[in-house]
Structure 1
Amino acid sequence: MKSEREKVVWRVTLIGTVIDAILSALKLIVGFSVQSTALIADGIHSLSDLVSDGLILLMAKIAHQAPDREHPYGHARFETLGTVILGMVLFSVGIGMGVEYLQLLLSDEVASNPGWLALLVVVVSMLGKEWLFHYTMRHAKQQQSKMLEANAWHSRSDSLSSLVVLVGLGASMLGYPKLEIVAALVVAVLIIKMGFSLTWGATQELVDHGVDEETVKRISEIIEGTPGVKSLHLLRSRLMANEIFLDAHIQVDWNISVSEGHQINEWVMAAVKEHVANVGDITLHIDPEDDSDKSFVLLPLREDIEGYLSDYDLLDGALKLNIHYFSNGVHLELLFAAEQDMTLLREQVATVKQYHPEIKAISLQRLMN
């Protein structure tokens, strides 16, 4: 079942494909009829757009597939890859135009007079491509699809290319054939800039570029404002197509239960997803203290600690053992029956701490009668 976003991408791209096919056929037919090399070249350019349309349809289909074993985070990066390819195509188109028209500028070739029919076809093409640019860009912004945005700019490059052809044809009819070349070189530079910008932005996303500072600040405020969260540290983000993936460490009270810490975790994730658009996945690490500037040390687990206490007859008789871990060591809470001699227990506690320096504190508690 296709998602709504995938349906929009497909619909917009298919409409663009139909328009590209019609305009390409129209320009090639008229171009060959009036022997206009400029119009024929523009028709071939439009024909090449069908390839990029096919690429978008393919990448959109892959990008919206559900996560699987090989891609546990989904396939959204394929959309980013498609954006990179389209950006490179735009860049190449700009380079090609620049080289072609620079050669014409240095040559003595003079364009032929193509007539009004060719001019009319170019105007139709330019208006059609400009409409397609605005239509595609509107949906690209709504769906937050960089790939659709890249294709929109591809349509804009075709519109500008048709404008150059229009200027060239008109200038040829008025006796100024070189005017086309000046306009073409300016357009080529603009297309190169568009292509580079799209390629660079998508490449940054492929190498796990984070979200902007304003979004990071907003996410931080939401997390720190959630009840039960004492502080936030080590917040990281990365982009996958239109989705944001987050991981962070949150500090909670050290003496709460595991289940309460988990519940705070769930509230944080719900709050972020409610107030920040397109958050795909959040991974939170629950800390009893701020460990952002502390080195990590492996401390003994329950089985080892119970082994330490088993060497002491009184401490081994504890009814309950709670263990709390901090960066400076282990804190223990021991619960005993009311009749236990606290003086003897404290003597054994001192011995345990002497031989096991990683145990920093032992709290002794008795059941009340």
Structure 2
Amino acid sequence: KNAKVRERYGILAGVVGIITNLILSASKIVIGLLVNSIAIIADGINNLTDMASSAVTLVGFKMAAKPSDIEHPYGHARFEYLTGLVVSFLILIIGFKLLTASFDKVLKPDPLEFSYITIIVLVLAIFIKIWQALFNLRTGEDIGSSALKATGMDSRNDVISTTAVLISLIISEITGFQLDGYIGLLVALFIIYSGIQLIKETSSPLLGKAPDPELVREIEERICKEDAVLGVHDLVVHDYGPGRIFASVHIEVDAYGDLIYSHDIIDNIERNLSEELGIHLVAHMDPLETRDPLTQTLNEKVAEILEPLDGIVGFHDLRVVAGYSHTNIIFDIVISPECKLTEAYIKDYVESQLQSIDSTYYVVITFDKSYVQNNI
């Protein structure tokens, strides 16, 4: 969670990736040229792209660590997400290049020159790539870095592609059938598939991915453990990059309680979440009517009415405004993005159910979208 520690881990992973991939790339390209194998050469070029990916990761971590400024008050931490996306596109590009080269090799196969030195180099490359994959995936998991996870997945792809090249070389030597181009095609298709999946994964935070349900639950539980808090709603979490999470929430308190005390509790909640979870929280104090029997009864009735409706997350801020000829029941309904019901249908349904109790009841509903995946 420490920004400096994250930066150092990222730089270490980038430097290690540049050095190891440079060695692997040079050795594979030389061996590939000696034995006339397009698959080995392509594998070496893939490692050269991996070196570029490591360099991009290195730069990304340095840029993400830049402090906030006037133009970017939320910081630059999203550079790390951009880095992961760039690495994903590099994987996709190398997949298409390998696909083209392998197709040409299928159409015009050239005999391979078998060598035990080639076997040894490829086996060593596989073990190095296994270590790289484990190192990047573990480091990415420890510091929550999508960029390092993408690099780790790329290393895993290299293990598969190099193993496939090794197998094709051995089979070709035993049978005399040139599998080089065909294996290259299979490896290329796998790399392209992995690149597409990684693009989806690394672009998700940039597009506004829903926050982790565990994080949402922890935020709500920490808020609700305070005695003065009656509930929470309208929680919104914005991710501006690792360690740069901003959130806003409405915290419900007793309207008849000590509002100065309640305000002090909310200030403490904001400070504690910042210190303990690294979340910049802005909380709105929402006083609730707790003594009016009609309000309590209608709260229970509305909850009962909404319970069977799919896609309704909950409701809040119910208040009753009585007039001479009718009574307005005003509240907010929170609906999930998957809700198939129209707002007009929900309003008419709720109003008809309440008017079956009292024909003078009319509802005034504000519909809110749920921006988190679970609520207390």
- How high is the TM-score relative to the length of structure 1? 0.71
CA shift digits 1:61-109 (9 cap, x unpaired): 010112221111111111111111111222233333334334444x141
Identity %: 28
Correspondences of 1:127-276 after superposition (within 5 Å): 127-243=127-243, 244-254=245-255, 259-272=260-273
User: Aligned pair in 2 of structure 1 residues 58, 258: CA closer, same or farther (>3 Å)?
Assistant: farther
* C-alpha deviation, 1:221, in angstroms: 2.4
Which residue of the partner structure matches residue 282 of structure 1? 281
- Asked if structure 2 preserves the Cα contact closer than 8 Å seen for 1:146 and 1:241, the reply is no
**SS of structure 2 residue aligned to 1:242:** coil
* C-alpha deviation, 1:183, in angstroms: 4.1
- Give the aligned length: 294
User: Aligned pair in 2 of structure 1 residues 280, 75: CA closer, same or farther (>3 Å)?
Assistant: farther
User: Aligned pair in 2 of structure 1 residues 98, 37: CA closer, same or farther (>3 Å)?
Assistant: closer
Which residue of the partner structure matches residue 347 of structure 1? none
- Asked if structure 2 preserves the Cα contact closer than 8 Å seen for 1:79 and 1:147, the reply is yes
Which residue of the partner structure matches residue 109 of structure 1? 109
What amino acid does structure 1 have at the position aligned with 2:114? P
Structure 2: unaligned runs, 5 residues or longer:
290-314, 320-329, 332-376
* C-alpha deviation, 1:176, in angstroms: 4.5
Structure 1: unaligned runs, 5 residues or longer:
296-326, 329-369
User: Aligned pair in 2 of structure 1 residues 40, 192: CA closer, same or farther (>3 Å)?
Assistant: closer
CA shift digits 1:27-56 (9 cap, x unpaired): 233333444443333222212222111111
- Asked if structure 2 preserves the Cα contact closer than 8 Å seen for 1:171 and 1:180, the reply is no
* C-alpha deviation, 1:256, in angstroms: 5.5
What amino acid does structure 2 have at the position aligned with 1:280? I
Matches of 1:289 and 1:185, distance apart in 2: 65
Matches of 1:269 and 1:182, distance apart in 2: 59
- Asked if structure 1 preserves the Cα contact closer than 8 Å seen for 2:32 and 2:40, the reply is yes
* C-alpha deviation, 1:206, in angstroms: 0.7
Correspondences of 1:80-95 after superposition (within 5 Å): 80-95=81-96
**Are residue 62 (structure 1) and residue 63 (structure 2) matched?**
yes
User: Aligned pair in 2 of structure 1 residues 94, 29: CA closer, same or farther (>3 Å)?
Assistant: closer
**Comparing 59-68 and 174-183, the one that deviates more:** 174-183
User: Aligned pair in 2 of structure 1 residues 80, 46: CA closer, same or farther (>3 Å)?
Assistant: same
Which residue of the partner structure matches residue 305 of structure 2? none
User: Aligned pair in 2 of structure 1 residues 289, 186: CA closer, same or farther (>3 Å)?
Assistant: farther
Which residue of the partner structure matches residue 49 of structure 2? 48
**Comparing 279-288 and 4-13, the one that deviates more:** 279-288
Matches of 1:169 and 1:67, distance apart in 2: 53
Greater relative CO (CA pairs within 8 A, separation 6+)? 2
**SS of structure 1 residue aligned to 2:203:** helix
Matches of 1:233 and 1:89, distance apart in 2: 42
* C-alpha deviation, 1:20, in angstroms: 0.8
Matches of 1:122 and 1:46, distance apart in 2: 12
Matches of 1:281 and 1:273, distance apart in 2: 5
- Asked if structure 2 preserves the Cα contact closer than 8 Å seen for 1:80 and 1:240, the reply is no
- Asked if structure 2 preserves the Cα contact closer than 8 Å seen for 1:35 and 1:114, the reply is no
- Asked if structure 2 preserves the Cα contact closer than 8 Å seen for 1:234 and 1:248, the reply is yes
Matches of 2:210 and 2:202, distance apart in 1: 12
- How high is the TM-score relative to the length of structure 2? 0.70
